[in-house]
C-alpha cells in the first residue's frame, strides 16, 4: 500500500528500477519490482482507495499489509534544507505578510 502512486511513478521514470537504492523509500522498491516484472501491479494499492471504500481493507485474515509513505521523508528533507540554507547563505528570505492573519 502506498500514499500516492504518482510520486512513485515519477521516481521510477527518473531513477529507473534502482530508485530504492537511491531514495530508500520502500514504495520505490515495490515499483522497481513491478518494473522488473517481479510483482503484478495489483499488489500495489493506494491508501486513498482503501480509505474511500473502493478497495477492501483485507481480503482474508492472512493478508500482510506493508505501507510506504513518502511524506515524512519529504518533510525531513525540506526541514534540513530550510535550516541549512541560512548557514550556507543560500536562498532568499521572503516577507509574505506584515502580520500573520491567523496568529
pTM of the predicted protein model:
0.58
Q: Which residues of the chain have pLDDT under 70?
A: 70-74, 103
- String of DSSP letters for 5-35: HHHHHHHHHHHGGGHHHHH--HHHHHHHHHH
- Domain ranges in the chain? 5-88
Which pLDDT score is estimated for 73? 64
Which pLDDT score is estimated for 72? 65
Which pLDDT score is estimated for 45? 87
Give dist(CA 11, CA 87) in Å, integer: 30
For a pLDDT cut of 70, what percent of the chain falls above it?
93
Q: Which three cell numbers stand for residue 16?
A: 529507473
Amino acid at each position: 500500500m502506498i500514499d500516492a502512486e504518482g510520486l512513485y511513478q515519477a521516481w521510477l521514470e527518473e531513477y529507473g528500477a534502482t530508485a530504492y537504492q537511491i531514495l530508500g523509500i520502500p514504495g520505490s522498491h515495490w515499483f522497481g519490482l513491478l518494473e522488473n516484472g517481479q510483482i503484478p501491479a495489483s499488489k500495489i494499492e493506494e491508501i486513498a482507495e482503501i480509505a474511500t471504500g473502493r478497495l477492501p481493507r483485507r481480503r482474508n485474515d492472512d493478508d500482510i499489509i506493508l505501507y510506504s509513505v513518502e511524506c515524512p521523508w519529504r518533510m525531513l528533507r525540506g526541514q534540513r534544507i530550510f535550516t541549512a540554507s541560512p548557514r550556507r547563505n543560500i536562498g532568499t528570505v521572503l516577507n509574505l505578510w506584515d502580520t500573520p492573519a491567523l496568529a
